């Protein structure tokens, strides 16, 4: 399984990567501090492989989670069709929550910090779909 963890907070990245490895050992996790880093990877790798799961922060410098989603929507339709995207946020901004909930590419909006129970439920749901 390939996971993209896109968050500018190093502490959350460390914790979330540890949780991912605890729940699903051997998972390949790529950590990005902004959506811009994901775009650079996609544009520089001719054989880019989309992740199975993307955990995406809403608020980040340079390119936030929503801007990255806008970019992904411009990609060929099949490029991310098997990627499950869940937004992680500590925001209580109602506009952010409504925007996340109304985007069909987002499976859920999760509050930080992520827990082993949250990740286990996500992985279980992915298996069923």
Instruction: For residue 37, give the nearest of 57, 2, 55, 63 by alpha carbon.
Output: 63
- Identify the domain containing residue 82 by its residue range: 2-128
Report pLDDT digits (tens) over 100-127. 888 888 998 888 888 999 999 988 888 7
Tell me the whole-structure pTM to 2 decimals.
0.91
Report pLDDT digits (tens) over 37-67. 999 999 999 888 899 999 999 989 889 899 9
27 close to 59: Cβ distance less than 8 angstroms: no
DSSP structural state of residue 114? P
Which domain CATH number covers 10?
3.40.50.2300
Q: Say if residue 129's pLDDT is above 70.
A: no
Per the prediction, the chain carries an average pLDDT of 89
Instruction: For residue 49, give the nearest of 9, 82, 91 by alpha carbon.
Output: 82
Counting the structural domains of the chain, the total is: 1
* CA atoms of 109 and 78, how far apart (whole Å): 23
* CA atoms of 129 and 66, how far apart (whole Å): 24
Per-residue confidence at 30, pLDDT binned at 50, 70, 90? very high
99 close to 123: Cβ distance less than 8 angstroms: no
* CA atoms of 56 and 65, how far apart (whole Å): 6
């Amino acid at each position: 399984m390939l996971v993209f963890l896109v968050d500018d907070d190093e502490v959350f990245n460390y914790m979330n990567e540890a949780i991912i490895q605890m729940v699903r050992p051997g998972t390949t996790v790529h950590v990005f501090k902004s959506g811009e880093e994901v775009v650079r990877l996609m544009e520089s790798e001719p054989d880019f492989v989309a992740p199975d799961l993307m955990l995406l922060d809403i608020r980040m410098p340079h390119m936030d989670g929503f801007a990255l989603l806008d970019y992904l929507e411009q990609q060929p339709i099949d490029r991310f069709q098997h990627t499950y995207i869940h937004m992680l946020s500590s925001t209580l901004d109602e506009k952010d929550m409504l925007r996340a909930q109304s985007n069909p590419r987002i499976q859920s909006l999760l509050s930080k910090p992520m827990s082993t129970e949250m990740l286990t439920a996500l992985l279980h749901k992915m298996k069923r779909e």
